[in-house]
Amino acid sequence: MFVLDTLTHRLKRGCETMDYPKGAPAALPDRHGGSLRVESSKCAERCSECAGVCPTQAIMPRAQKGVTLDLGRCIFCAACVEACPEGAITQTGDHRMAARTRADLVLGEEGREEVRLAPALDAKLRSLLGRSLKLRVVSAGGCGAEEADLNVLGTIGWDIGRFGIQFVASPRHADGLVITGPVSRGMELALKKTWDAVPDPKIAIAVGSSAVSGVPFTGNPEVLAGASSVVPVDLYIPGWPPHPLTILDGLLRLLGRLGNDRFTPPARPPAA
Amino acid sequence: MNAAQPFAQLTNATALPWPQVPDLPVSRLLEATAAELDRGARLCAWFGVPEDGATRLAAVLAYDADNVLAVARSHPTSGSYPSLTPAHPQAHLFEREIWEQHGLKPEGHPWLKPMRALRGGAPANAEFFRVEGREVHEVAVGPVHAGVIEPGHFRFQCSGEEVLHLEIALGYQHRGIEGALAGGPHRATQVQVEAIAGDSTVGHATAFASAMEALGGGEAPLRAQWLRLIALELERLANHTGDIGALAGDVAFLPSASACGRIRGDLLNLTALVCGNRFGRGLVAPGGCRHDLDTARLAEIGERLDRALADAEQACTWLWDAASVRSRFESTGTVSSKQANDLGLVGLAARACGLVRDVRYDHAAGWHRFAQAPVAVWPSGDVFGRARVRWLEIQRSGQMVREQLAGPPEGGVRDAAPEAAPDMLAVALVEGWRGEICHVALTGPRGEIRRYKIVDPSFHNWMGLAMAMRGQAVSDFPICNKSFNLSYCGVDL
């Protein structure tokens, strides 16, 4: 009786996995705001109101006019958006923000107002990993939030198994590492050993602004400056923590499984 | 309540001028603390305050039945003092921490070793406890674990399959949060506090905000306190649901595991509806809350909450109905109520051993003064008990949030951040989803933070897991570990 009940309920629910990436992705929560766009051309001369309110020092004034904002140091609190008198920093509502280099996450120069999204791996690596990517997750001072949203990708709603992506139990079974956290000094050795235990060719992915740059602990002697302090990073996914959609976009982008998709803002405009 | 004279009393989320905290000779403080613990007080925090090259010891005790806290401090001291731990195991980790942070040695401590100190890119774990014998073997697990989870090291002493002893070594996640708070609050402080334990963001942010508000002699607007309660209970709902799913997964009961994984996401999305972040980041700050809920948003949260709770009920019913699940949960990883009391366990781990211990009830502060749910208790002390308490709390928290959504108080949600008064001591307790979160803040002569002590519930509870494993099979470790689901970074700070 019990087994039948369970099965009936399960059947009634049907398939609960999202359509994305075949269909459109679900909109981010309206108060999330998504990625940022920085237009230094709109800035007033010698204004750096935004840099003064940023809790993680992600914003640097430029010599003459305007600022640069490092999305890899950003915790998406939107204090700068509220502080800017000229509307030069805006939320785009876009969930996509994964990049291949740190420089691609720095916004604000002319022509570089938004993130330069990650191109796919080269053809050789794509042929090796494109349809089967096994990853070992190492939390190195991670607070548990990034880890939680990585786990979410394994649930039935997201089901990353359908892309051949899987989080595995041993570095010996893995094609690469996912690193979370700013890399506490207490995890330096363990991270290095885990990286060395992954067979070549291998990739490293930093998930969350902590792993990208070490924020908000930069300056504490107990932490390093993110994953690239110990391993060569191939993909940076900023966020505090990144929304599961942002992580999934980054992974699929790296594997060349998303086209040159254009972002359509969600129907509901992000609220301030 | 007739706490002895040596202690000054205060209630949760209030402050006391530091000069009014009784200043005792070290031996007197230790005697008095031991006597109060013998009478049933609980050790919320036991820590050092540096002063003129020496250290003052400070004790924060809780009298749960009397709804009151008590504080006292010692004269500045150095060298050593007689350890509380042999007679009062709940002081165990506190005394190791004091020794590591201030070099003050607890004489007679049974297992004095570092907690977070480093040696060559890893914690200096020192020697592990070893059981000798012909058929005894050792199993070492971690720091990097098989799942997507934080790092820590577990060392089992086993005879065949049976675990004789488990020693848990943490420190891998140490990020220096307490130390960085000195002289603050700094610009990054709020953000660091929200990362003490990512799954308890609202809990820790509320404790920090309450402590800062108490130092400033005020409290947040009522509507902000109401919103903090809703966010805290949503955090509890999401984590409890996720844990029940994870427990189901560990005994290979996939229907509930899959369903709860998804429902947990739905509940996290409710928090995101409140503030944009699934973990509640950027919501609670000293002075109030950064977002408010309009009528439409209240209604949407209510509707989606009802759906999520109905789904959770279905998923949990499958679980409780399955004899195979019950037989794995029952009598696995048992902690007696005496052990729980001696070790000073808090939160759901304590309540699952039959202890009625809940900050929301015993030391109500904020909106919990006006809205209460019955304390969820289960007597069995095993994995089943810890799962069952989670389910009871899902029901009760769900009901409480529903009621609160229906009747929001008027007014704004944000005042200016309070100015902390100089030379004040504030204590803020919050019942996070794991249990009691304790923040103790002490200001210096300019109102700056002189010492900030953070006690995550996991700090009290890891030893509970070690005791739960005694006499179990090694293969029961995952399910026992999940049933506590403690935070590594919350302890490592």
Domain membership flag for residue B222: yes
CATH of residue B387: 1.10.645.10
**Of the partner residues A145, A192, A221, the one whose CB lies closest to the CB of residue B199:** A145
Same domain, B311 and B454: yes
**Residues of A in Cβ contact (< 8 Å) with B179:** 220, 222
Distance CA B43, CA B32 (A): 12
Same domain, A149 and A246: yes
Domain membership flag for residue A117: no
Distance CA B208, CA B196 (A): 11
Distance CA B108, CA B76 (A): 21
Angle at B310 between CA B304 and CA B316, to 5 degrees: 130
User: How many beta carbons lie within 10 A of that of residue B223, not counting itself?
Assistant: 20
Same domain, B50 and B199: no
With the C-alpha atoms ordered B352, B353, B355, B357, is the resulting torsion angle positive or negative?
negative
User: Token pair 């060349």 is at which residue?
Assistant: A256
- The encoded tokens of residue B240 equal 């409890």
User: Token pair 């070594």 is at which residue?
Assistant: B169
Return the residue of A nearest to B117 by Cα: A186
Beta-carbon contacts below 8 Å between A and B: 188
Domain membership flag for residue B13: yes
Residues 6+ apart with CB under 8 A from A252: A21, A163, A258
Q: Give pLDDT tens digits for A37-61.
A: 999 999 988 888 999 999 999 999 9
Per the CB < 8 Å rule, is B172 touching A190? Answer: yes
Distance CA A156, CA A16 (A): 6
CA distance A112 to chain B (A): 26
Same domain, B55 and B183: no
> Could you tell me if B265 and B241 are in contact, meaning their C-beta atoms sit under 8 angstroms apart?
no
Same domain, B181 and B93: no
| Residue B77 three-state SS | strand
Return the residue of A nearest to B178 by Cα: A220
Q: What is the 3-state secondary structure (H, E, C) of B283-326?
A: CEECCEECCCCCHHHHHHHHHHHHHHHHHHHHHHHHHHHCHHHH
Same domain, B308 and B394: yes
Same domain, B209 and B66: no
For the cut 50, the answer to whether the pLDDT of residue A271 exceeds it is: no
Domain membership flag for residue B466: yes
Domain count, chain A: 2
Return the residue of A nearest to B257 by Cα: A155
Domain that holds residue B71: 8-107
Residues 6+ apart with CB under 8 A from A132: A164, A175
Distance CA A192, CA A188 (A): 6
CA distance A41 to chain B (A): 28
Domain count, chain B: 2
> Could you tell me if B120 and A114 are in contact, meaning their C-beta atoms sit under 8 angstroms apart?
no
**Residues of B in Cβ contact (< 8 Å) with A31:** 272-276, 291
For residue B348, give the H/E element and its range.
helix B347-351
Domain membership flag for residue B355: yes
Report how far Cα B250 is from the mean position of its chain's Cα atoms: 24
Same domain, A78 and A167: no
**Residues of B in Cβ contact (< 8 Å) with A243:** 278
Same domain, A137 and A89: no
Same domain, A45 and A139: no
Same domain, B292 and B438: yes
Q: What confidence category does residue A270 fall into, taking pLDDT thresholds of 50, 70 and 90? A: very low
Percent of chain A with pLDDT over 70: 94
> Could you tell me if B214 and B14 are in contact, meaning their C-beta atoms sit under 8 angstroms apart?
yes
CA distance B318 to chain A (A): 7
- Whether residue B185 is preceded by a cis peptide bond, meaning omega within 30 degrees of 0, is yes
List per-residue pLDDT tens for chain B, 493 residues long: 444 479 999 999 999 999 999 999 999 999 999 999 999 999 999 999 999 999 999 999 999 999 999 999 999 999 999 999 999 999 999 999 999 999 999 999 999 999 999 988 999 988 999 999 988 999 999 899 988 999 999 999 999 999 999 999 999 999 999 999 999 899 999 999 999 999 999 999 999 999 999 999 999 999 999 999 999 999 999 999 999 999 999 999 988 999 999 999 999 999 999 999 999 999 999 999 999 999 999 999 999 999 999 999 999 998 998 899 999 999 999 999 999 999 999 999 999 999 999 999 999 999 999 999 899 999 999 999 999 999 999 999 999 999 999 999 999 999 988 899 999 999 999 999 999 999 999 999 999 999 999 999 999 999 999 999 999 999 999 999 999 999 999 999 9
Domain membership flag for residue B158: no
Establish if A65 touches chain B: CB-CB under 8 angstroms: no
> Could you tell me if B302 and B402 are in contact, meaning their C-beta atoms sit under 8 angstroms apart?
yes
**Of the partner residues A31, A145, A147, the one whose CB lies closest to the CB of residue B276:** A31
Report how far Cα B288 is from the mean position of its chain's Cα atoms: 22
Return the residue of A nearest to B150 by Cα: A139
User: Token pair 């400033």 is at which residue?
Assistant: B216
φ/ψ of A234, rounded to 5, equals: -100, -20
The amino acid occupying position B41 is A
- First CA to last CA across chain B, in angstroms? 34
Which of B107, B128, B153 represents a domain boundary (last residue)?
Answer: B107
| Residue B484 three-state SS | helix
By the 10 Å C-beta count (0-12 exposed, 13-18 middle, 19+ buried), A31 is classed as buried
Distance CA A70, CA A238 (A): 10
Same domain, A170 and A48: no
Same domain, A90 and A127: no
CATH of residue A218: 3.40.50.12280
Distance CA A197, CA A191 (A): 10
Smallest CA-to-CA distance from A251 within A141, A167, A183, A169 is with A167
Q: What confidence category does residue A261 fall into, taking pLDDT thresholds of 50, 70 and 90? A: low
Distance CA B385, CA B247 (A): 12
By the 10 Å C-beta count (0-12 exposed, 13-18 middle, 19+ buried), B217 is classed as middle
Which of B107, B141, B158 represents a domain boundary (last residue)?
Answer: B107
* Global pTM value: 0.95
Rounded alpha-carbon distances, angstroms, from residue B333 to B54, B157, B199, B222, B417:
43, 16, 24, 42, 45
Domain membership flag for residue B115: no
Per the CB < 8 Å rule, is A9 touching B255? Answer: yes
User: Token pair 């609190």 is at which residue?
Assistant: A77
Q: Give pLDDT tens digits for A66-97.
A: 999 999 999 999 999 999 999 999 999 999 99
CATH of residue A88: 3.30.70.20
Same domain, A63 and A169: no
Establish if A91 touches chain B: CB-CB under 8 angstroms: no
Distance CA A249, CA A21 (A): 9
φ/ψ of B440, rounded to 5, equals: -120, 125
Distance CA B141, CA A122 (A): 37
Domain membership flag for residue B233: yes
Same domain, A66 and A129: no
Per the CB < 8 Å rule, is B261 touching A152? Answer: yes
Q: State residue B293's pLDDT score.
A: 93
Same domain, A223 and A186: yes
Distance CA B281, CA B480 (A): 30
Same domain, A74 and A184: no
Same domain, A183 and A226: yes
Q: Give pLDDT tens digits for B413-454.
A: 999 888 999 999 999 999 999 999 999 999 999 999 999 999
CATH of residue B76: 3.30.460.80
Establish if A192 touches chain B: CB-CB under 8 angstroms: yes
User: Token pair 């199993």 is at which residue?
Assistant: B139
> Could you tell me if B64 and B360 are in contact, meaning their C-beta atoms sit under 8 angstroms apart?
no
Domain membership flag for residue B472: yes
Same domain, A242 and A164: yes
Question: Within chain B, how many helices (H) and strands (E) appear?
Answer: 16, 16
Same domain, B311 and B198: yes
User: How many beta carbons lie within 10 A of that of residue A10, not counting itself?
Assistant: 15
Which of B85, B107, B129 represents a domain boundary (last residue)?
Answer: B107
- First CA to last CA across chain A, in angstroms? 52
Domain membership flag for residue A242: yes
Domain that holds residue A143: 123-254
Rounded alpha-carbon distances, angstroms, from residue B51 to B54, B57, B59, B200, B296:
5, 10, 16, 32, 53
Q: Give pLDDT tens digits for A22-36.
A: 888 888 898 999 999
For residue A177, give the H/E element and its range.
strand A176-180
